[in-house]
């Protein structure tokens, strides 16, 4: 959808818009749906199917997390291939061209910086259901996009992917090229010194959320 929309609506800026629409809303929305679908079937059966298995529930939870990780990696590779093929190989959208190495790096960074949403959305999906989880996650992602250009972004994990994309693919969270004169642009937004700290913070958050949600899931056995 990200590829098709940018190809049809903003052909001249195809590649940067393909990435921008992908990480602003479509990718987080897909993660929300995917994670809730992974847990909703077991929830409907009150986890009876997994409780009867001779396996540690923490391992079952982590297996679900890894399944979601594999699926978002596959989705990201499809998006990367489509964007690079149309933008760089077919040479469509010259004004929005992203160098191939930057596109690959951007896809890898997006996967890493959105990993933490997997255990969170799985937990929320188990507690409050699919619709509320998708709504909350998308609203928070939109707020993150709005705050990504401010210094407070490190307090808001949802803002990190949009912020890191600025020096990597040279596009602002609002979809405009990161060049002088465009709204919300400042030269320091292009500093790539934020990339490594952002990745470290998000990976740490993913590990913490995965651990605590696995501990919570393990306690289902006692209920």
What is the C-alpha R_g of the chain?
19
Contact status, residue 19 vs residue 8, Cβ threshold 8 Å? no
What pLDDT sits at residue 221?
57
Q: Which residues of 209-223 are buried (b: 16+ CB within 10 A; e: fewer)?
A: bbeebbebbeebeee
In order along its 223 residues, the chain shows pLDDT tens digits of 888 888 888 788 888 888 998 998 899 999 999 999 988 877 776 666 676 677 788 888 999 999 999 999 999 999 999 988 887 777 787 777 888 899 999 999 999 999 999 999 999 998 888 889 999 998 998 888 888 888 766 778 999 999 999 999 999 888 888 888 888 788 888 888 889 999 999 999 999 999 999 999 888 754 5
**Interatomic CA distance for residues 184 and 162, integer angstroms:** 13
**Interatomic CA distance for residues 67 and 62, integer angstroms:** 9
What pLDDT sits at residue 54?
74
Residue 177 has, within 13 A of its CA and on its CB side, a CA count of 12
């Amino acid at each position: 959808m990200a590829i098709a929309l940018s190809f049809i609506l903003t052909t001249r800026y195809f590649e940067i818009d393909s990435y921008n629409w992908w990480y602003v809303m479509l990718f987080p929305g897909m993660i929300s749906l995917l994670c809730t679908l992974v847990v909703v079937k077991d929830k409907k059966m009150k986890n009876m199917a997994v409780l009867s298995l001779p396996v540690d529930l923490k391992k079952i939870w982590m297996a679900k997390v890894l399944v979601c990780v594999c699926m978002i990696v596959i989705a990201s590779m499809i998006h990367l291939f489509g964007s690079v093929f149309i933008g760089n190989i077919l040479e469509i959208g010259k004004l929005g061209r992203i160098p191939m190495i930057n596109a690959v790096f951007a896809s890898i960074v997006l996967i890493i910086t959105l990993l933490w949403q997997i255990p969170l959305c799985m937990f929320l999906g188990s507690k409050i259901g699919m619709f509320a989880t998708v709504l909350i996650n998308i609203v928070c992602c939109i707020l993150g996009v709005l705050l990504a250009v401010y210094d407070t972004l490190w307090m808001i994990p949802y803002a990190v992917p949009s912020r890191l994309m600025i020096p990597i693919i040279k596009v602002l969270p609002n979809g405009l090229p990161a060049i002088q004169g465009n709204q919300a642009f400042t030269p320091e937004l292009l500093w790539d010194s934020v990339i490594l700290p952002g990745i470290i913070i998000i990976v740490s958050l993913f590990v913490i959320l995965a651990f605590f949600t696995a501990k919570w899931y393990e306690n289902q056995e006692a209920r």
